[in-house]
Amino acid sequence: MKKMLVLAAFLAVLAGCRSLPQVYNVPQHTVALAEGKTMREAILQGGEGRRWVMSETAPDVITGRLTLRGHIVEVKIPYTGNSYAIEYANSQNMRYNAKKNRIHPKYNQWVRNLDLNISRFAQKSK
């Protein structure tokens, strides 16, 4: 019985020591836009399609905010006529470590999905 408790405690410690991945930022991504579509529209629609709240915070910059199950993440999306990038801006309850630039793995998954959705909407006709 004692061996089982020691083993369970060791496994719990080991599971808690799992290292966090590097923050994933999307570098400048050039997209072939569908006729009549703008990059601004693609970003807004792509984000909203994944439940991100999108808002224009500066000329040619959109901020995306996602709130899920007590987690909050924010990204900045600077864009041009045919390209965009996605950059980490802020987070809550995501175990973000600024010194090591590491974060909960779900953040990276959410950003990859946002990137895919923006690309899809950019190439989708109105």
* CATH code assigned at 40: 3.30.310
Evaluate whether residue 94 is within a structural domain: yes
User: What is the spatial distance between Cα 47 and Cα 79, in angstroms, rounded to a whole number?
Assistant: 14
* Within-domain flag for 61: yes
pLDDT of residue 61: 98
Q: 10 Å Cβ neighbour count for 68?
A: 11
User: How long, in residues, is the chain?
Assistant: 126
Structural domain contains residue 16: no
How much is the pLDDT for 18?
Answer: 64
Is residue 51 in some structural domain?
A: yes
Domain membership of residue 101 (yes or no) is yes
Residue 78's nearest CA partner among 43, 126, 34, 102 is 43
pLDDT at 9: 54
Domain of 52?
22-123
39 vs 2, 16, 78, 98, 100, CA distance in Å?
61, 41, 10, 30, 32
> How many domains are contained in the chain?
1
| CB-CB contact of 33 with 45 (8 Å) | no
User: Which stretches in the chain have pLDDT values below 50?
Assistant: 11-14
Whole-prediction pTM? 0.84
Within a domain: residue 15? no
